Amino acid sequence: MPAESRLILTGAESFPEGLAGRWLDERMSWDIVVDRQGRISEIIHSMGRVTVRPGEITKVPLIKGGEGMMRPGEWVLQYDAESREMLVSIDIDSMRFQVGAQIVEGSCRDVLYGTVSEDGRTWVANWNTYPKYFVTTEEFGHKELPMDEHLQDMGVITFKRAPEEDK
């Protein structure tokens, strides 16, 4: 089944048009574009920092002739109209970054959740990440990277919705 983006609404018949557009976080370089139907149409993920779209494999040029690849999984946007709570879940089903014999590969799920401001311009979101990464090197072979459960909480980040002309 191809990757998709879907919307889950609570307390509303349709996604608020004023929340559609480009949501930017400068600190961690997230960029999330939400269409007028409330579906995520593209992102710039904090890892790789290239545009990724649902259902499309993205190639990433790396230093020293290396190559990267990101294959998205399901993306979900949930919005509760009464509380203005928005949750975005981004699955990257597989990623692979290779420079020479050095390889980092795996998958991850990122969940961003928090309250959208009354004016619809700011979204303060908690960010949790659930990675499963492997590294391959000439010296150590293929190993899973250990992940500390306490490091899944990446903290709070603030998104700003770009001006209308950038939609």
Give the predicted TM-score (pTM) of the model.
Answer: 0.87
pLDDT at 4: 82
- Residue 81: Cβ-neighbour burial (10 angstroms; 0-12, 13-18, 19+): middle
Would you list the domain boundaries of the chain? 5-166
Length of the chain: 167
Token digits of residue 100: 């020479």
Residue 114 Cα distances to 10, 127, 144, 160, angstroms: 15, 9, 31, 13
Q: Is residue 94 very low, low, confident or very high in pLDDT (cuts 50, 70, 90)?
A: very high
The mean pLDDT of 135-143, rounded to a whole number, is: 90
CB 55 within 8 A of CB 3: yes
Question: What's the distance, CA 19 to chain centroid?
Answer: 17
Pairing of strands 67-80, 85-99: antiparallel
The mean pLDDT of 94-110, rounded to a whole number, is: 92
Q: Does 167 have pLDDT greater than 50?
A: no
- Residue 1: Cβ-neighbour burial (10 angstroms; 0-12, 13-18, 19+): exposed
The mean pLDDT of 65-70, rounded to a whole number, is: 91
